[in-house]
Amino acid sequence: MAVIEIKNVAKRFGDYQALHDINLTIDDQEFMVLLGASGCGKSTLLRIICGLETASEGEVWIGGKRVDHLPPKDRGISMVFQNYAVFPHLTVFENIGFGLRMQKLPNDQVKRRVERTAGLMHIDQLLKRYSGELSGGQRQRVAVARALAMEPDVILMDEPLSNLDALLRMEMRAELKGVLAESNTTAIYVTHDQVEAMSMADRISVMHEGKIVQAASPIEVYRDPAAEFVAGFIGNPPMNFLPATPAGAAGQWSVAGQTLHGPNAGKDLKFAIRPEDLTLADQGFQARAKVVEPLGAHLLVTCEVEGHQFRAILDSETQVRMGDTLTLAPQDGRGRWFDPATTLAVS
Amino acid sequence: MTAETTDVAEVGANTRKAGQYVYIAAVVLLCAWVIVPLYFLLINTLSSPEAVNSYPKPFIPEFDLGSLTFFANFAGILTALKNSILVAALTMVMSIAIGAPAGYALSRFEFRGKELFRLLILLTRAFPLPLLALPLAVMFIRVGIDDTIFGLALVHTTLAIPFAVLITFSLFSGIPIELEEAAWTLGCNRLTAFQKVILPLVLPGITASAIFAFVISWNEVFAAAVLTIENRTLTAFLLQNLDTSPLHLKFAGGFILVVPALIFIFAVRKYLFAMWGIANR
Ligand SMILES: Nc1ncnc2c1ncn2[C@@H]1O[C@H](COP(=O)(O)OP(=O)(O)OP(=O)(O)O)[C@@H](O)[C@H]1O
Ligand SMILES: [Mg+2]
């Protein structure tokens, strides 16, 4: 049983505030992904949970026990480092078995567990090598195997697959998720790869400038972003934004010449729509195509609507040329609304 | 146009050639500066006492062990040699025992006045030993460690510590903190992480800086001459007998002093470069 509770955690490096008042509860055996742009404080939060960094304020609880004052080894966690940290003076075998040897497990048990985790990570051929003789991706897998071999209650992973090629990454992603689900481990997984986040997470915490902007299931983060930042960050490409002004009647909004139904609010809002939620229609936004990118599965068209950049994902058979004017209609129920003052979602 | 470019190219080539000659000449000169005296030392050590004292001097060694045998049999010399080794070994142990933790702290912890502290370590080398020698001698007599191996080793340790600190500082800085952190998350505390991860990685470098401390003590003559009377080290002994001893004894003594120092420094040169790289920053 390892629930992780982060209560009012803040972190300052001198004058620089890396984390602001973080509150987050991660359930037992949950797979939580921290997603955010480079420098938003993901690693810092992970290091605080791990005990490698002390929070300036706040508390960290693991499994119902306050752990702020405990050294990393007494927190029941293991960690995969962003830059692998594979010990250069030990073979792959001894690297993976390092923690087990510290626990003074008998040799045959160490051997069994090392070989099993090495198998999971497809590095069983490399057990005799030293880290200097491995590629970046192989080193990364050694680091993951080393953490898994500990069979911890909580595993913290800082971009553990960032150095693998696309195919291997997809394979390891599925495998890692399977292994963790089987082992009843609570996992926090840092990445800035959205696809990875969407595909692996039970819940995603989107971080921005040292704050958690939204913590919710992948589909909720995608469909109902809690803030403008999330809407503009998640999705490839992310949501389109257009200014909306009240159009007389309550709940009626004028957006780029169209009248749309929206929330009741007394001030200007922003209308947001995903590129794939747009269809060609007789009535809709007048969009002038500026860049047309055939991506195989579909067609990505970057247009301009009343001076605002506007992207649409259309069927790959659609005939569009640069300079064409398209009429794009938002699908019913897919539009979202944000308050420009607070940047939060309005419904 | 073409003529002009070839001209320019030629001038360039000539300048480059001239530069190369200067460079080669400088290298030859520097090498000669170091090697020629060493060569004379070698010839005279490996020649018979008669040849050393005769004129003209030989230019090729005779490979006669007469001088070395004379040196070995000279009264008191073996005791002096033993003292030198003991003091140097003690210096080596103490300077690493004190210097390596300081180097570790400098590389791993942030504290106020860290830069100043590093500068101060270097500055201790700027303090002239002769100024210290007399008060030190007085103090050593009061404490009762005058004319002892330990007392002299203490002084030599002070001389060697700045180097020990700077070399180990650069060693520890070269090891990513993540390696240690990884060990911490895998069940180590600070001490066991140091033992199992850091120590194996820095051991070659620590050995090098220990050897360097040894050489510093081995070569030191001033403090040795002032602070010891009965228990002279080899350097102090040779200095004391400089005007009374025969020429071949001086050569043999010089040779015995220089050779270990040379070999050791050659063995650890890589780490000395590392130290300067850091110290010059
Ligand atoms: N020891 C430190 N001293 C000062 N500032 C730091 C320190 N560690 C991190 N920071 C700052 O804190 C911020 C967050 O850093 P962090 O490493 O958590 O980012 P990240 O989200 O992991 O980024 P990335 O995706 O690039 O790994 C950065 O602006 C960084 O410069
Ligand atoms: Mg990071």
State the pLDDT at residue A165.
87
Position B254 in a domain: no
CATH of the domain at B189: 1.10.3720.10
To which CATH superfamily is domain A4-232 assigned? P-loop containing nucleotide triphosphate hydrolases (3.40.50.300)
Closest CA of chain B from A92, distance in Å: 14
CATH class of A237-346: mainly beta
pLDDT of residue B41: 85
Rg (CA), chain B: 25
Residue B66, class by beta-carbon neighbours within 10 Å (0-12 exposed, 13-18 middle, 19+ buried)?
middle
Q: What was the pLDDT predicted at B133? A: 79
Residue A84 phi/psi, 5° resolution? 65, -55
pLDDT value of residue B278? 44
Nearest to B200 among A81, A89, A150 (CB): A89
Q: Do domains A4-232 and A237-346 have the same CATH topology?
A: no
Which domain covers residue B216, as residue numbers?
A: 76-240
Is B189 within 8 Å of A73 when comparing Cβ atoms?
Answer: yes
Best A13, A46, A48, A52 residue to mutate vs chain B (most B CBs within 10 Å): A52
Pocket test for ligand 1, best of A11, A13, A20 (most atoms within 8 A of CB): A13
pTM score of the predicted model: 0.78
- Position A112 scores a pLDDT of 95
For chain B, 281 residues long, the average pLDDT of each consecutive 10-residue run is 61 83 94 89 83 74 78 82 92 94 90 87 81 84 88 91 89 90 93 91 87 90 85 86 79 85 81 55 34
- Dist. CA A12 → ligand 1 center (Å): 11
Token duo for residue A345: 């979602």
Q: Mind listing the pLDDT tens digit for each residue in B119-145?
A: 888 888 787 878 887 888 888 889 988
Closest protein CA for atom 29 of ligand 1: A39
What are the boundaries of each domain within chain A? 4-232, 237-346
What is the pLDDT, as a whole number, of residue A88?
92
CA distance A204 to chain B (A): 25
The answer to whether residues A155 and A187 touch, using CB atoms and an 8 Å cutoff, is yes
Give, as one character, the DSSP assignment of residue B110.
-
* B contacts of A103 (beta carbons < 8 Å): 187
- Select from B209, B207, B210, B185 the least CA-distant residue to B197: B185
pLDDT given for residue B3 in this prediction = 53
> Is residue B273 one of the residues assigned to a domain?
no
Amino acid identity, residue A42? K
| Partner-chain residue, chosen from A79, A83, A102, that has the shortest CB–CB distance to B188 | A102
- Residues of A with CB below 8 A from B188's CB? 73, 102
B246 near B71, Cβ under 8 Å?
no
Give a yes or no: residue B41 inside a domain: no
Q: Which helix (H) or strand (E) holds A152?
A: none
- Determine the residue among B185, B191, B194, B203 to mutate to test chain A binding: the one whose Cβ has the most chain A Cβ atoms within 10 Å: B185
Q: Do A73 and B185 touch (CB under 8 A)?
A: yes
CB half-sphere exposure, B61, CA atoms < 13 A: 15
How many domains are there within chain B?
A: 1
- What backbone torsions phi and psi does residue B24 show, to the nearest 5 degrees? -65, -45
Ligand nearest to the CA of A192: 1
Residue among A142, A122, A169, A17 nearest A80 (CA): A142
10-residue averages of pLDDT along chain A (347 residues)? 92 94 94 93 94 94 93 92 91 95 95 94 92 89 93 93 86 86 91 90 95 95 95 93 88 90 88 94 92 92 94 91 92 93 90
Cα four-point dihedral sign A313, A318, A320, A326: negative
d(CA A250, CA B124): 81
Nearest CA to ligand 1 atom 8: A44
Q: Does any domain span residue B124?
A: yes
- Residue B31 belongs to some domain of the structure: no
User: Shortest CB distance from B186 goes to which of A52, A88, A150?
Assistant: A150
For ligand 1, which residues put their CB under 6 angstroms from it? A 13, 16, 18, 36, 38-44, 82, 192
Q: Could you tell me how many CB contacts below 8 A there are between chain A and chain B?
A: 56
Query: B219 lies in a domain?
Result: yes
